[in-house]
Amino acid sequence: MSKWRHAHLLGIRNLDKEDIEYLLEKADSFREFLENSPKGCEELKGYLLVNLFFEPSTRTRTSFEIAGKLLGMQVVNVDVEVSSLRKGESLRDTVRTLGRLKPDVLVVRHSASGVPEYLAQFSPFHIVNAGDGLREHPTQALLDLLAIRRFFHRFEGLRMAIVGDILHSRVARSLAMGFGELGGRVVVSGPPTLVPREVEMLGVKRVFPVEEAIRNVDVVYLLRIQRERQDAGYFPSLKEYAAFFGLSDAYWEKIKDQVVIMHPGPVNRGVEVSYSLVENERSLIEEQVTCGLAVRMAILETLIREGEKPWEKRF
């Protein structure tokens, strides 16, 4: 790949196979770098990263903060709860104000789909989508792909089953697109109420029951059951979900030699997956977290060093 062609990272749908492979190759180098101690470099010294999160986050926000600092950046986390947004200021005016403080990258998470694309229309800095509504979570997909790449050393011919709350999952959407772009095949399963037919537009296949979906796959990717949506009546109870759709110790014994377990976190232990399986030797769940740091370092470095320059636009 001769040139990174993007000013922002807005979604997997905006990237082609070459783009994804380029980021993964660079992220793999950063993953090796993270085994060094002491850690840190001055690759992006003098640049400023701003995190603007309108939804709770531990892994994504913290890893972007650490990624920026390891690269030598100054990092600011905007506390939305005490910002002028609570006084009635619009999102547009808030971001335009931040622009006058001359950041180089804004990482944004928002409950409304399309917010990163909206901000990219007028912002004179790089925008990174850290999750927008039910639409996409591109950095999560990239870190998942990195973990898979490091384990299997390929994508072509691999099979993945994504199981759980597909309906509300921006993770599932981004991962299905990225995995498919690299040559893998995806099936989805879970409670039928949470696996809409529209998901087939992403090139995936709906398979029921779950036991059939995870038969003969290489990766079982379990999604978090969003407790905040439990009262919507998508399934009777967490106990019944665990019994019918969770990955139990008993079923694991049947497939343990063929698959790896993944989960975007946070894990509801005993619901999506048995307590003991989170730390199983065939689980990539903790490795995904470290890969997340490596991917976010690669994204920041690529956008700043190689990306198109959004600050050439003017307010």
Domain boundaries, the chain: 12-136+289-312, 138-288
- Looking at the domain 138-288, which fold is it? Rossmann fold (3.40.50)
Mean predicted confidence (pLDDT) in 270-284: 94
pLDDT tens-digit series, residues 211-270: 999 999 999 999 988 765 555 667 878 888 888 899 999 989 999 899 999 999 999 999
Mean predicted confidence (pLDDT) in 294-307: 97
CA distance linking residue 100 with residue 249, whole number of Å = 54
194 pLDDT exceeds 80?
Answer: yes
Give me the sign of the Cα torsion angle 274, 256, 29, 24.
negative
Which residue(s) pair with 75 in the sheet? Answer: 49
- Mean pLDDT estimate for the chain: 93
Predicted confidence band at 82 (pLDDT cuts at 50, 70, 90)?
confident
87 or 189: which leads in pLDDT: 189
Query: 195: closest CA among 185, 203, 207?
Result: 207
* pLDDT given at position 172: 97
3 pLDDT exceeds 90?
Answer: no
- Looking at the domain 12-136+289-312, which fold is it? Rossmann fold (3.40.50)
* Contacts (Cβ under 8 Å, ≥6 apart) of 196: 166, 167
Query: Above pLDDT 90, what percent of the chain?
Result: 83
* pLDDT given at position 253: 92
Q: What is the 3-state secondary structure (H, E, C) of the chain?
A: CCCCCCCCECCHHHCCHHHHHHHHHHHHHHHHHCCCCCCCCCCCCCCEEEEEECCCCCHHHHHHHHHHHHCCCEEEEECHHHCHHHHCCCHHHHHHHHHCCCCCEEEEEECCCCHHHHHHCCCCCEEEEEEECCCECHHHHHHHHHHHHHHHCCCCCCEEEEECCCCCCHHHHHHHHHHHHCCCEEEEECCHHHCCHHHHHHCCEECCCHHHHCCCCCEEEECCCCHHHHHHCCCCCHHHHHHHHCECHHHHHHHCCCCEEECCCCCCECCCECHHHHHCCCECHHHHHHHHHHHHHHHHHHHHHHCCCHHHCCC
The backbone torsions φ and ψ at residue 240, rounded to the nearest 5 degrees and listed phi first, read -70, -35
| Tokens, residue 138 | 């591109």
Predicted confidence band at 112 (pLDDT cuts at 50, 70, 90)?
very high
How many Cβ atoms from other residues are within 10 Å of residue 35's Cβ? Answer: 8
Mean predicted confidence (pLDDT) in 104-116: 97
14 pLDDT exceeds 80?
Answer: yes
Mean predicted confidence (pLDDT) in 169-196: 96
Does this chain's domain 12-136+289-312 share its CATH topology with 138-288?
A: yes
How many Cβ atoms from other residues are within 10 Å of residue 198's Cβ? Answer: 9
* pLDDT given at position 231: 56
* pLDDT given at position 232: 61
53 pLDDT exceeds 90?
Answer: yes
* pLDDT given at position 1: 55
313 pLDDT exceeds 90?
Answer: no
pLDDT tens-digit series, residues 122-180: 999 999 999 999 999 999 999 999 999 999 999 999 999 999 999 999 999 999 999 99
67 pLDDT exceeds 70?
Answer: yes
* pLDDT given at position 314: 46
